[in-house]
């Protein structure tokens, strides 16, 4: 398969490296200077300096050249970059199937990636999402991982999995695009909460309770939006949640750790140096949950920590002092 990966951050670069194991891959960067540096160094020296590019991987800052004769386009930008990238593809007349690895809900519109794609792409163009428990550094280094490719068209998902599956990056197909997108969005919010929990040294019991109840929130939100319950028991649900909420490479978990230290959000984001999608996503998930009448107390608490400067001790008291109830209830 000939593949164009649009977005040369850590995750886009890692996927480009991995998929170049058995196909021709073009990695596109909107920054011409970055593209030139990567082409010369044969590595992404900014994000993955120890992971050399395979021979089948080329780099360009020319979008038209990147997508010229490819079989599939994979967009790996922050969610804020998805809509402008899709607009650019449409302007260039591209008809290639599109996958995205963007996670979250669009600021202000509360729209998921598939809704953005539906607005910007011709309905006849196949599209779907790649998501699952995977850190860029480990994927680029060739360590085993498994992710999901989800599409409303199950046949497209299966064909894409067969074409892109590698010996170290195992792919699974899903027809629950909405559920996979919800898992990808909400797990980042919960990872911030888990980082706060660990940063305050509340203990393993507390973290287990937090993540279990967080998974309930995720599934409840998904049910309201028509997702399949089993999706949240798979790679894009509990799998991605466990990794992002407990792994030291998780940017969203690091946000929580720094919140526990008393740092202000602006300083945290400056220190991070990367996009932490859980920060903007928290607000949009909370807004949509409220509109749907879905109770998501952990998500609301994360928003209070991020945007309202509510003390951590007050948040913990609110969560622990909620009225007792049956576990299956909200």
Question: 3-state class of 49 per DSSP?
Answer: coil
**233/226 Cα distance (integer angstroms):** 16
Q: Which residues are catalytic?
A: 187
How many CA atoms lie within 13 Å of 106's alpha carbon, on the beta-carbon side? 14
Between vectors from CA 178 to CA 243 and to CA 88, what angle results, nearest 5°?
A: 95
Cα torsion angle, 86, 88, 93, 97, sign = negative
Q: b/e for 33-46, b at 16 or more Cβ within 10 A?
A: ebbebbbeeebbeb
State which H helix or E strand residue 181 sits in.
helix 177-199
Please provide residue 305's backbone torsions phi and psi, each rounded to the nearest 5 degrees: -65, -40
């Amino acid at each position: 398969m000939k593949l164009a990966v649009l977005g040369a951050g850590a995750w886009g670069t890692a996927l480009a490296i991995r998929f170049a194991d058995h196909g021709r891959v073009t990695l596109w960067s909107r920054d011409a200077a970055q593209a030139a540096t990567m082409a010369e160094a044969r590595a992404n020296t900014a994000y993955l300096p120890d992971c050399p590019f395979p021979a089948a991987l080329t780099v360009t800052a020319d979008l038209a050249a990147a997508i010229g004769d490819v079989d599939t386009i994979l967009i790996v930008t922050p969610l804020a970059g998805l809509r402008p990238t899709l607009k650019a593809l449409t302007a260039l007349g591209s008809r290639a199937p599109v996958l995205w690895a963007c996670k979250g809900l669009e600021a202000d519109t509360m729209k998921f990636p598939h809704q953005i794609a539906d607005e910007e792409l011709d309905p006849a163009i196949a599209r779907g999402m790649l998501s699952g428990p995977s850190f860029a550094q480990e994927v680029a280094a060739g360590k085993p991982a498994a992710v999901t490719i989800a599409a409303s068209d199950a046949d497209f998902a299966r064909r894409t999995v067969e074409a892109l599956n590698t010996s170290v990056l195992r792919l699974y197909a899903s027809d629950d695009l909405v559920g996979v997108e919800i898992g990808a969005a909400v797990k980042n919010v919960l990872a911030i909460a888990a980082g706060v929990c660990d940063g305050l040294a509340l203990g393993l019991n507390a973290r287990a309770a937090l993540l279990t109840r967080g998974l309930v929130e995720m599934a409840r939100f998904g049910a309201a939006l028509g997702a399949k319950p089993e999706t949240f028991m798979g790679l894009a649900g509990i799998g991605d949640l466990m990794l992002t909420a407990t792994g030291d490479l998780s940017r969203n978990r690091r946000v929580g750790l720094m919140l526990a230290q008393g740092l202000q959000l602006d300083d945290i984001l400056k220190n991070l140096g990367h996009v932490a999608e859980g920060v903007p996503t928290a607000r949009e998930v909370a807004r949509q949950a409220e509109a749907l009448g879905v109770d998501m107390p952990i998500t609301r608490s994360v928003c209070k920590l991020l945007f309202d400067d509510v003390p951590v001790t007050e948040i913990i008291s609110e969560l622990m002092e909620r009225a007792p109830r049956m576990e299956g209830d909200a």
